A and B are shown apart, each in its own frame.
Chain A
Amino acid sequence: MTGTAAEASLPVRAGHVARGGLLAAVLLALASLSFWAPTFWVSIAIQALILAIFAMSIDLLLGYAGLPSFGHAAFYGTGALVCARLALASPGLGILPLVGISVAGAALLAVPFGALSLRVRGVYFLMLTLAFGQMLWSVAFQAPREWLGGSDGLIGVVRPSLGLLQRFDEQLWLAVGVSPGVAAVRHFYNLTLVAAVLTFVALSLLVRSPYGRTLEGIRENEHRMRALGCPTFRYQLAAFVVAGALAGLAGSLLTLFNGFANSSSLYWTNSGLVLIAAIVGGVRTLAGPALGAFVVLIAQDTLSSYSERWPLLLGAMFVGFVLFLPNGLLSAGRALRGLTRARPVELRR
């Protein structure tokens, strides 16, 4: 809570400049990706960006609020299924209302889900969120065909046009001589990138706001915050709902990319995958989970193209990360920098 005042008085450090430069370089590379990368890699990058939005959303819960949810796929899947159901029911709907309603649906679900799960903490919270998430999957899995399409899922979702902007973007591609299908993929990549960047910016602002600082205060000492008169439950529930909404955003983008959705997007392995992505990159950094999403997705894709045993290798990789690099890749980078740069000897520990 007092962090903002203390930080404002700090001089601008070289580290901040370096970090800003790195961020700008990454953004530039991502923004230009649709111009130079092969279409196959563009579609991998789309999936990675979607997973990155999903992973950043769980970082708000896991890193900042200190609430490790193992049921986050519930909101991802809800976003995906609501989007597909809605797109099939009313084909004329524009992309913004479509995504907006999917996000709202996921947020709405997060209210009772969060309110019930927040009755417990720690490992019990993990267990409860997992159980609730799986229950939801199980209900969706067994839902009547006319609702969610049974085991096939909802197929034949047509991506609504973004109107003039899309026409312009795609005409540009067609002018260079790529086929309409490829142009559509590259256009959707740009759209996903905008969504991911907006998510990153919004979450960065949120965690630096008084609300975010309070959330971290609750993570560090819930009893004290409550004694200070802070309505901790409301703060945590709000974090749960925001994270759920953003996971819903990721889910709805997934449906628009794939053109279908089924109940497996609710499945608990997705909750595990997104947690792993966050851990691989490094929690409580927002950029880390986004990086982790790229690493996990590229690893999954590379392994599955080389070996039939890729689930085994991926699982082993997860185990390795948990055992040997629990603070994530960003922390490894920091440790390497520490090795190469001379530092004043730390006297106190």
Chain B
Amino acid sequence: MALGLQLTLSGLAFGGLVFLLAVGLTVILGLMDVLNLAHGSFYMLGAYAGVTVLHIVGSFWLALALAPIVLALLGAALEVAFFRRLTGRGPLMQVLLTFGLSLVFVDLVRWRFGPQNQPFPAPPQLSGSIGILDFRFPVYEAFVIAVAALLGAALLLGWRRLRVGAILRAGVADREMVGLLGVDLARVFTLTFAAGAGLAGLAGVIAGPYLATYPGMDENVLILALAVVVVGGLGSVAGALVGALLIGLATSVGPFLRQEIATALVFGVMALVLLVRPRGLFGLRA
């Protein structure tokens, strides 16, 4: 019972982190048909932006606020500079562009910060652990759950109720029609890219004290986020949320059984969803 709760809570924390990454990935993919392999780089750069702010100012909270803004600006700049030039050239070129960019980013980080792990301490308010039933649960993981839950609720609400959410939903369903209705698609794309990059940057700062900050920290999480997109369905915020929780639980329960089973479990969930429902749990189209 207590063990089950403990595993569920760790699964929620990790799943919440993956959600912050996957939600941008899935909306960008659904809306713009861009599979952004540099999305993991945004996550990594977010963590390094956080470390930099932490070193200069010494405040984790300021790092948490500033890094997403920096990453959002970078995302917008990349969209205008690169992705806009490639619209209509097919998905492969864009994926390869993001592949090249991710190689550049990881080497830039290695150049500036070196290959080693960066110390990224949690603030004192979030250190230590709290007692639940008969086990200790890290405060920081509870914080990760809280941030992901708050943002998840806000994003889901905005997606369903706000005008911008309606535009994005319509864009996923039929981009051209939205353009014909007078919506400035170029601006929507840039803002979506910026928001996705900002969320990935936020996930990176949060991941800093929770996981580890090193060049290449993005790779494992990116693949899990991809699995989330496959499971949840393209361009669906609710799908990203449910998918991330499923994958999070699979990765937290898996190692308890056996390490190599963890990934096989994620793989199994993905294959099963594909067999039963190729468009994903909440996907509109396949």
Where the two chains meet, the residues of A that have a C-beta atom closer than 8 Å to any C-beta of B are: 62, 68, 70, 116, 119-120, 122-124, 126-128, 130-132, 134-135, 138-139, 142-144, 268-269, 272, 275-276, 279, 309, 311-312, 314-319, 322-323, 326
A319 near B104 (CB under 8 angstroms)?
Answer: yes
Min distance, Cβ A233 to any Cβ of chain B, angstroms: 13
Alpha-carbon distance between A134 and B223 when the two chains are bound, in angstroms: 7
Report the Cα distance A312→B107, complex, angstroms. Answer: 5
Q: Return the chain A residue nearest B278 by Cβ.
A: A119
In the complex, are the beta carbons of A68 and B92 less than 8 A apart? yes
Q: Is the CB of B274 within 8 A of A119?
A: yes
Contact A315 to B274, CB < 8 A, known contacts A127-B230, A139-B260, A326-B93: no
Return chain B residues, CB-CB under 8 Å to A275.
92, 96, 99
Instruction: Report the bound CA distance from A138 to B89 in whole Å.
Output: 32
A131 vs B231: C-alpha distance in the bound complex, in angstroms? 11
Q: A138-B263, A311-B103 are in contact. List 7 more A-B contacts (CB 8 A).
A: A119-B274, A122-B91, A127-B29, A131-B226, A135-B263, A135-B264, A323-B97
B230 & A128 in contact (Cβ 8 Å cutoff): yes
Chain A: minimal CB distance from B14 (Å): 15
Q: A127-B29, A312-B103, A323-B85 are in contact. Are A143 and B260 (CB under 8 A)?
A: yes
Nearest Cβ in chain A — how far from B73, in angstroms?
20
**Docked pose: A131 CA to B219 CA in angstroms:** 12
The answer to whether A311 and B106 have CB atoms under 8 Å apart is: yes
Q: Which residue of B lies closest to A308 (CB)?
A: B111
**B91 lies within 8 A of A68 (CB):** yes
Interface residues of B (CB under 8 A from A): 29, 33-35, 37, 82, 85-86, 89, 91-93, 95-97, 99-104, 106-108, 110-111, 219-220, 223, 226-227, 229-230, 234, 259-260, 262-264, 266-267, 270-271, 274-275, 278, 286
B96 touches which of A116, A127, A144, A322 (Cβ 8 Å): A322
Residues of B close to A134: CB separation below 8 A: 223, 226
Q: Name the one of A130, A312, A323 contacting B104, with C-beta atoms under 8 angstroms.
A: A312
Instruction: Find chain B residues with CB under 8 A from A312 CB.
Output: 103-104, 107-108, 111
The CA of A319 and the CA of B94, in the complex, are separated in Å by: 10
Distance in Å: Cβ of A73 to nearest Cβ of chain B: 12
Collect the chain A residues with CB atoms within 8 Å of residue B278's CB: 119-120
**Closest chain B residue to A273 by CB distance?**
B99
A269-B102 Cα distance, complex, nearest whole Å: 10
A116 in contact with B275 (CB, 8 Å):
yes
Q: A128-B274, A135-B266, A275-B92 are in contact. Are A323 and B86 (CB under 8 A)?
A: yes
- In contact, B260 and A272 (Cβ under 8 angstroms): no
Select which of A131, A144, A311 is within 8 A of B223 by beta carbon.
Answer: A131
Closest 7 CB pairs of A and B: A315-B103, A318-B100, A123-B91, A315-B104, A312-B107, A319-B100, A135-B267
Which residue of A120, A127, A309, A314 contacts B35 across the interface (Cβ within 8 Å)?
Answer: A127
Once bound together, how far apart are the Cα atoms of A272 and B99, in whole Å?
7
The answer to whether B93 and A127 touch across the interface, beta carbons within 8 angstroms, is no
Chain A residues whose C-beta falls within 8 Å of the C-beta of B219 in the assembled complex: 268
Chain A residues within 8 Å of B271, by CB: 116
Cβ-defined contact, B227 with A131, below 8 A: yes
- In the bound assembly, the distance between CA atoms of A126 and B82 in angstroms comes to 20
> Within the complex, which residue of B111, B220, B226, B274 is in contact with A309, where a contact is CB–CB below 8 Å?
B111
CB A43 to nearest CB in B, in angstroms, measures: 24
Smallest distance from the beta carbon of A282 to chain B beta carbons, Å? Answer: 13
Tell whether, in the assembled complex, residue B260 and residue A142 are in contact, meaning their CB atoms are under 8 Å apart. Answer: yes
Contact A311–B107 (Cβ < 8 Å): yes
Given contacts A120-B286, A134-B223, contact A323 B266 (CB under 8 A): no
* Residue in B29, B104, B106, B259 whose beta carbon sits within 8 Å of that of A123 in the complex: B29
- Tell whether, in the assembled complex, residue B100 and residue A315 are in contact, meaning their CB atoms are under 8 Å apart: yes
Contact: B99 with A309, CB < 8 Å?
no
- Kindly provide the distance from the CB of B223 to the nearest chain A CB, expressed in whole angstroms: 4
Q: Give the docked Cα–Cα distance between A316 and B96 (Å).
A: 11
The verdict on A123 contacting B85 (CB below 8 Å), with A131-B226, A315-B100 known, is no
Jot down 28 A-B pairs with beta carbons below 8 A, ordered by A. Answer: A116-B275, A119-B274, A123-B29, A123-B91, A124-B234, A126-B91, A126-B92, A127-B230, A128-B274, A130-B226, A131-B270, A132-B267, A135-B264, A139-B264, A139-B267, A142-B260, A143-B260, A311-B106, A312-B108, A314-B103, A315-B101, A317-B100, A318-B100, A319-B82, A322-B93, A322-B96, A322-B100, A326-B89
A319 to B102, CA, bound (A): 10
How many whole Å from B19's CB to the nearest CB in chain A? 17
* Nearest CB on B from A297, distance (A): 16
Give every chain B residue within 8 A of A314 (Cβ-Cβ): 103
Chain A residues whose CB sits within 8 angstroms of the CB of B220 once the complex forms: 138
